[in-house]
Amino acid sequence: MSARSFRPVMSVATVAVAALGCYLVSLRVAAERAGLEEVESRIVLAQRDIRTLQTEIGTRGRLEQLERWNVRVLALSAPKADQFVDGGYQLARLARPTDEVDLTAPVVLAAAPKPAPAQPIATPVADDDADVAASENATQNAPAPRAAPASGGPASMMHVASYRVSGREEPAVSTARPLSRKSPAIVSATTKPAKFATVAKPPHLPGTGHDAKASSHAPAKAGVARDEAPH
Amino acid sequence: MNAPTPALVARPERLRLVGQRRQILAVVHQRLMFGLIVYGAIIAIIALRLLWLAAFGDHAGRRGALSALIPPRGDIVDRDGQPLASSIDVWSIALQPTRVIGDKLELARNLAKLMPEKDEASYFAMIRSGKPFFYLRRRASPDLVEAVNALGEPGMALERTPDRLYPQTSLAAHVLGFTDIDGHGSAGAERAFDKQLSDPATRGTPITLSISSKVQQALEHELAAAMAEFSAIGAAGVVMDVHTGEVLAMTSLPTLNPNIAGQGSPEARFNRATLGVYELGSTFKPFTVGMAMDSGVVKSVGQIYNCPKEFHYGKVVVHDTHPFGRACSVAEIMEESSNIGTAQIALQVGATRQRAFLQKMGFMAPVAIELRERGRTLTPGTNWGEVATMTVGFGHGIAVTPLHLATGYATLFNGGVYHPATILKVDKYHPVGAGHRVFTEETSYKSRALLRLVVMKGTGKNADAPGYRIGGKTGTAEKIVGGHYTSASVVTTFAGVFPMDEPRYVIVAMLDDPKATTKTFGFHTAGWNVAPLVGRTVSRIAPMLGVRPDMNRDANMAEVMPFVHEKEK
């Protein structure tokens, strides 16, 4: 037979192959569905097992049993009121490092360089300790060559800011008094005008930062003598 | 016969039959066509059915009805999802005597060894009888089942049946209840929600209770310890949320194990928190003062009443435990729990108003909760005269359940609105129960400082847990023995609310007939036994409930302190 006569056969064959292909597809779909259901049933079985195990754990670890263990062994209790903090900052504050004093470190006494020999004082004063205000006023208008209170060592380190009222008359001048008779805070008024007068390095600023008193005086005198080197 | 045709080279024509043959042929044709149509129809039906099945039908190998795990009875879980009641398959051992092969004596002996509750003779009798089925043990442990199986006797039937398990054993036993042998609930939540638990459509989702297991355990443990220490015959405790009415914990002692409910005593099955009614004594006084403040009778916490050592009203004499013997303010009346002062306040409120308030608080009817075991309250009823008003004012003419008391305190301290108590968790499917207003906001606010005063300086000092701002009221009520009140036997209660600067939870604890001990110096009043119990419980449960202990916060004591005498040192 010639090829032409195969046409109906070929068409039938094509249709048959198409039909078989559809059938294959549907078979594939069915297989996937079966696989899905297999998985689902395994899920259900696993859920059942999980439930059984949870029941067992729940019974073995029931609260009454935990309480018994707590009473006998663990002895845990609720935290008290002072064990609660407000937030991270408070917690960090609780854990901040504290200042430790090293007891084995050598003790260094505060020291200051020996003051330069100062000019002699004009007139020594003889008033008593209590008359601070008078002495303060007294030194306001002291004449220029009022020298720095001499080799009056500690007294020369004293300086207390005073409110100068210009034009006020000052009584007699007082010199530096020995420090031991006064508290350190008392004005040693003679130093102040001396500072105005001289350009010399003030002896009361030792040049190191150890002396707290000196450093507190520094701002008061900063405007006074700028050539000072505070530290 | 065919018509004669010329035998030529003509095209062959169709056969033309004539006459009868033609008719027969026509009939034959018709019949053939009919048959063809029938045949075609059948094939078409089969083909259509195949197409339909291909599109919508189940294919072979499908296992139905296992798409989700639906238990035979619904689960009950607590508010955090912890299972409190669930169904499990238990092994049961049964004997089928007709199927026994092998030595009957030997079998009887083995059975007696494995299950010694019956002796050998009775087992032998069972085997020899002709009955078809005997249950030997309905809940058998797997070891026992394995041992029985190892006997190798076909007459022993080992089967799995669904049963109810309560993994936490006696925790919240009265709330959960128990089921009977057929699997129907006979008490508690099992009975109240039986329909929902059995219906196949709804039993897939568990029932979420408002109970918190941790709070429940803490309350039960402390109550049990106190009950043992003071040799009380019973105890009850309730913890409630004041704003939603959820019951976070409810317990009644002595308790039972619902797994073996039949083995408990009737005392243990009795739910004292909802079914038992007690005269709760001085814990009623805040309600009386609240009623008075709402009615305008008491205009300020500093209002003065005369509090002599005894108060005579007609034939009735009212006594105080700590009599003042002088004029005292409302604050002091509450602080020292004065019956005399409260009686006067109650008289001013009057029977009508008192009854109306109690009605609105739900004290005249059984308590509102989903459980079925609810006790009926005892009230003066028709005999509500002035004497009855007085005694009800300080809590002695009326008997209510501890849950009533908790609901009442919740009403007083949440701003004055009554919400029914509920045992189900409040969420989007179950909103807060509809409520109605009972007290004003101002009364609710003023009561905070009053009750905080009681715990700071008054009879409830032992209930104070540092930082938790507990306020509350003690109550010691004499029991009626032989027709009259006796001071030897009391019911002590403490109703506490915390934290008092912004109340959130109420806790009620009750001890039935606590005895005095050496540690309490011979006293058996509420301040000695139930108040420290509440203090300990609150320090355990408050952190769980989100209440942080804070020493810097407290209720506004400036409301009451000006009206309280400082004690002479």
pLDDT per position as a tens digit, B391-449? 999 999 899 999 999 999 999 999 999 999 999 999 999 999 889 999 999 999 999 99
A58 vs B: CB within 8 A:
yes
pLDDT in tens, B471-522: 999 999 999 888 888 889 999 999 999 999 999 999 999 999 999 999 999 9
pLDDT at residue B131 in the model: 87
A55: which chain B residues are within 8 Å (Cβ-Cβ)?
Answer: 83, 86, 88, 165, 167
A26 vs B: CB within 8 A:
yes
- Which pair of tokens denotes residue B453? 């005063």
pLDDT at residue B498 in the model: 93
Q: With a threshold of 0.85, tell me whether the complex ipTM lies above it.
A: no
Q: Which of A:79-138 have CB within 8 Å of B?
A: 79-82, 84
Name the amino acid, one letter, at B509: A
pTM (2 d.p.): 0.74
Tell me what percent of the residues of chain A surpass a pLDDT of 90: 24
Whether B167 and A30 lie within 8 Å, measured CB to CB = no
pLDDT at residue A99 in the model: 84
pLDDT at residue B63 in the model: 55
Whether A55 and B213 lie within 8 Å, measured CB to CB = no
Q: Known catalytic residue: B170?
A: no
The residue in chain B having the minimum alpha-carbon distance to the alpha carbon of residue A53 is: B88
The residue in chain A having the minimum alpha-carbon distance to the alpha carbon of residue B86 is: A55
- B448 Cβ partners below 8 Å, 6+ apart? B413, B471, B497, B500, B501, B503, B555, B556
A33 vs B: CB within 8 A:
yes
Q: What angle do CA B513, B514, B516 make, to 5 degrees?
A: 130
Per-residue DSSP letter, B490: E
Name the amino acid, one letter, at B275: L
Whether B170 and A64 lie within 8 Å, measured CB to CB = yes
A67 vs B: CB within 8 A:
yes
A87: which chain B residues are within 8 Å (Cβ-Cβ)?
Answer: none
Mean pLDDT value across chain B? 91
* CA–CA separation, B83 and B168 (whole Å): 8
* CA–CA separation, B138 and A228 (whole Å): 104
| pLDDT interval class at B171 (50, 70, 90) | very high
- B385-389 LR contacts (CB < 8 Å, sep 24+): B385/B351, B386/B313, B386/B314, B386/B347, B386/B351, B387/B313, B387/B314, B387/B316, B388/B351, B389/B346, B389/B347, B389/B349, B389/B350, B389/B351, B389/B354
Nearest to A81 among B169, B216, B550 (CB): B550
Whether A26 and B54 lie within 8 Å, measured CB to CB = yes
Mutate to test the interface with A, among B56, B67, B69, B139 (most CBs of A within 10 A): B69
Whether B540 and A37 lie within 8 Å, measured CB to CB = no
Q: For B62-71, B164-173, B262-271, B344-353, which range has the lowest pLDDT when averaged over its residues?
A: B62-71
The alpha-carbon radius of gyration of chain B (Å, integer) is: 38
pLDDT in tens, B319-343: 888 888 899 999 999 999 999 999 9
Whether B61 and A34 lie within 8 Å, measured CB to CB = yes
Catalytic one among B170, B213, B282, B447?
Answer: B282
Which DSSP string do the residues of B386-428 spell out, in sequence order?
A: HHHHHHHHTTSS-EE-HHHHHHHHHHHHTTSEE---BSB--BT
Whether B214 and A54 lie within 8 Å, measured CB to CB = no
pLDDT at residue B62 in the model: 56
